[in-house]
Structure 1
Amino acid sequence: MTAPDRIHASYLIETPLDPAAVAEVMAGEQSCGTFKRVEGETDALRARARATVEGVEPLDSAAAPSLPNARLKRQQVPGPWRRARVRLSFPVANIGANLPTLAATVAGNLYDLGESTGMRLETLQVPAGYRRRFDLPRLGIAGTRAATGVAQGALVGTIIKPNVGFSSVQTAELVGRLCAAGVDFIKDDEVCADPDHAPLAERVPAVMAVVRAHQQRTGKLVMVAFNITDEVDAMRRHADLVQREGGSCVMASLNWCGFSAIQALRRHTPLALHGHRNGFGALSRHPLLGISFQAYQTLWRLAGVDHMHVHGLAGKFAQADAEVIGSAHDCYTPLAEGLDDAVMPAFSSGQWAGTVPPTWAAIGRDDLLFMSGGGILAHPGGPAAGVASIRQAWAAVRTGQPLAEAARQAPELAQALAFFGTP
């Protein structure tokens, strides 16, 4: 259990020096110390404000450094380059309810330390009282289900394709076809926010007109995540427009907007906030640099997002399936004991009916957005058949039926298997 006045973080480090000594440097650098003790840095102040080394676990060594380090090279420090897992804790009082400063504290200058040739923030835990000082998701899993009318089963979604280039009218026409096809969720691509050829001022009313018409015909309100990524005032205006038009969700590119902007947006709008992580690979792909998804999603959940992208199993991106699975379970895990603050993981990237079985097998639940672009829009029977094939796949896995067997009575699924290939 996390102490009520401490934030805990763990790191994977690489260094040619003593890892325990480097851990002490890390603790000092990210709290009240510098490379030499200064006037005013009393024992009393250090006892109150210094980060604490909670543990150092030696791991393997490497024959060559993982990252360049001009300081160590200049000093001609030889290897081997030792790896270790370091656990630190930080006083809550150093930070307060300040998300950018929390990120600067648990990461910040650590990536530039002259003692290391590898530095990765792996885990981040906050105490319950501290977590309550930040925004909770407005909808989360239960609220997203309620807003879409999907009481059980995976939410089947798709992405506007082509990513960019459509006019507002063309986008609305496509959304109308997708609503008729039976999707629960539609999102803009991350590269389409407020383009000249389809500005949000035109696109939102055009799209929501067909969404409302579909709702009047069928009773179902399809959730559309409009990409409103922009500077703060513009995002507030765009969110207000979506809300006036009867929409239920907005999307933002988290890494490029920043913590403060997302917090400001969360506090401004009651709509579902769909957190898109594009750019996360730059922070995570090197195993000895950056940040793991567990720590990353902890920070963004403190900003109050409702959905988090995790990519998809057997998808088109670089992440291993194990990382995708772990990321989804991170989204379901409360940030602190006694809280119900789970967010809905969004599976995307090359998803189709054939990736449903490994998803179900790995996750064991269907509280998720299963978003398929080509798997719906490229289905040989058209978008409605694409949606049907995915729903048929989910129905099969829930009863333990192999897809090939289910496809005998499900022509859309059979078409998908024949067209897209073996899962």
Structure 2
Amino acid sequence: MIGARYLLETPLDPEKVAAMMAGEQSAGTFVRVPGETDELRERHGARVRSVRVVEERDAPTLSSAYLERKGQAGLWRRAEVEIDYPEENVGANLPTLAAVVAGNLFDLGEITALKLMDVTVTPDYRARFARPACGIAGTRKALGVDERPLFGTIIKPNIGMSPDEIAALVKTLCEAGVDFIKDDEIVGNPACAPVAERVSAVMDVVRRHRDKTGRSVMIAFNVTDEVDAMRRHADHVAAEGGSCVMASLNWCGLSGIETLRRHTPLAIHGHRNGFGAFGRHPALGIAFPAWQVLYRLAGVDHLHVHGMGGKFADPTEEVADAARRCLTPLGDTDDRVMPVFSSGQWAGTLGLTYDRIGQARDFMFLAGGGILAHPDGPGGGVESLRAAWEAVSAGADLSEHARRSKALAMALETFGGR
């Protein structure tokens, strides 16, 4: 069975609404139809596992013309609902899986709010889908970094630089000691820096750096596009010796990411931009635990979870939970993905991150301004992160440790009041 957990709001009996939801998303509709036998229902019908009322409200979150026509009033109850769907109804089909656990449920007239909170799958069902091509172990092996988080940054300014200007910045960042560099999500294939020219210019720098130092730097080139173009872009990255491509998951969609995964052995850096539209409201949309299952089944290797103490609205515990879920296998083999912390990150947020995810070291920590805007330049930014890591991994105080690290002291002075 495929399990789905929802937060439901309705003025009607939540148990009856849950049963209606199960029928709507499996073998039934609002009335029994010819051919809908008991045997068919037994084999293909979804089952309500539990319903638990958690709150009563005086007003609905959303209006419903259906309920208004019925003259329905009264208390609006919020309930946690768990429904199991037969795997046989779906098969190894991600878009259909999404349609089953979500689909028309958000439009049902009996419901005034609904959030898909989580999706669970069996190990056997998970095995029917793609796994990460690189995942955590493959990413670490490609970079030769074993015992600490991966420190990286983002090409800034976001857009407007030419391929040669981007390559020059990448050269500076490679020399500064970063492990990872990514394109911004809004840079796909712009006229100022077409993806093919950008990849060739940047990879020339990366190869020269590797030949000179023996040290690899992973570049996540943004290949977000329509599917055929994404495949062409990925092929060009591979031909130039690259190891990673980035895609905006919500806009490429499940099928687009699945197709990209099947096509390329490169690491897929999954960017979640736009997720707030799906998950930010506490009573509407799709929560990260459910959302990440779908894209992990599509085969991504890295997954953005936002950042702690950064510039976005996510509560710290929500970010931490997202990272912990990335680090938890879905099946009975290691299909974990690398959580990526980004948004307003710098040396001073590293300790909070490390503590809140249970002192795990398998994460990517991206600092844009925290590296690029460091008073001592990108080299100082990277050094401040490494010094901060020395402190937090040893349980030492950052301020005390900064007495031995000029770069960390400058970071604390520059970014500490933000």
TM class by shorter chain equals over 0.9
Structure 1, unaligned stretches of length 5 or more?
1-5
Q: Which runs of 5+ in 2 are unaligned?
A: none
2:161 equivalent to 1:161: no
Counterpart AA for 1:341: D
Q: Is 1:268 aligned to 2:231, yes or no?
A: no
Deviation at 1:73, TM superposition (A): 2.1
CA distance in 2 between counterparts of 1:144 and 1:98 reads: 27
Matched position secondary structure for 1:79: coil
Amino acid corresponding to residue 184 of structure 1 in structure 2: D
- Residue 340 in structure 1 maps to residue 324 in structure 2: no
CA contact (8 A) 1:50 1:90 kept: yes
**What is the DSSP-based 3-state SS (H/G/I as helix, E as strand, rest coil) of the residue aligned with 2:379?**
helix
Q: CA deviation at 1:79?
A: 2.5
User: In 2, Cα distance between the equivalents of 1:173 and 1:204?
Assistant: 13
CA drift at 1:112: 0.5
Letter in 2 for 1:15: T
Q: CA offsets per residue over residues 304-337 of structure 1, 9 Å max, x none?
A: 000000000001001111110000011011112x
Deviations 1:322-360 (A, max 9, x none): 110000011011112x22100000000000000011011
Q: Which residue of 2 aligns with 1:148?
A: 143
Matched, 1:361 2:358: no
1:182 aligns with 2:177: yes
Q: What is the CA-CA distance between 1:374 and the residue it aligns to?
A: 0.3
Alignment counterpart, residue 29 of structure 2, candidates 31, 34, 37:
34
Q: Deviations over 1:53-106 (max 9, x none)?
A: 011011111111112212112322112110100000000000100000000000
Using structure 2 for the length normalisation, give the TM-score: 0.99
Match of 1:103 in 2: 98
Name the counterpart of 2:320: 325
Helix, strand or coil for the counterpart of 2:140? helix
Matched, 1:46 2:41: yes
Match of 2:20 among 2, 22, 25: 25
Match of 1:137 in 2: 132
Find the counterpart in structure 1 of residue 393 from structure 2. Answer: 398
**Aligned residue type for 1:262:** I
Q: Matches of 1:273 and 1:201 in 2, distance apart?
A: 18
State the distance in 1 between where 2:67 and 2:376 align.
61
Q: Counterpart of 2:285? A: 290
**Corresponding residue SS for 1:258:** helix
| Kept in 2: contact 1:354–1:422 (CA 8 A) | no
Where do residues 109-120 of structure 1 align in structure 2 (5 Å cutoff)? 109-120=104-115
How far apart are the structure 2 equivalents of 1:68 and 1:215?
59
- 1:244 corresponds to: 239
Aligned length: 417
Structure 1 letter corresponding to 2:54: L
Whole-angstrom distance in 2 between the partners of 1:27 and 1:211 = 53
Instruction: Quote how far apart the aligned CAs of 1:221 are.
Output: 1.1
Q: Give the residue type in structure 1 aligned to 2:355.
A: A
Q: Which amino acid aligns with 1:358?
A: L
2:305 aligned to 293, 306, 310, which one?
310
Question: Scaled by the length of structure 1, what TM-score is found?
Answer: 0.98
Residue in 2 that maps onto 1:412: 407
SS in 1 for 2:187: coil
Query: How far apart, CA to CA, are the structure 1 residues paired with 2:264 and 2:371?
Result: 31
Q: CA RMSD in A?
A: 0.8
Decide which of 343, 347, 352 is 1:349's aligned counterpart: 343
CA contact under 8 A between 1:392 and 1:410: conserved in structure 2? yes
Answering whether residue 119 of structure 2 is matched by residue 124 of structure 1, we say yes
Paired amino acid for 1:226:
F
Fraction of identical pairs, as percent? 61
Aligned match of 1:370 in 365, 369, 374? 365
Contact conserved, 1:122 with 1:294, CA < 8 A, in 2? yes
Q: Distance in 1 between matches of 2:333 and 2:378?
A: 39
d(CA) in 1 for partners of 2:298 and 2:123? 15
- Aligned match of 1:3: none
Query: SS at the partner of 2:132?
Result: coil
Contact 1:62 1:80 in 2 (8 A): yes
Cα distance in 1 between the residues matched to 2:408 and 2:293: 37
**What is the 5 A alignment of 1:62-77?**
62-77=57-72
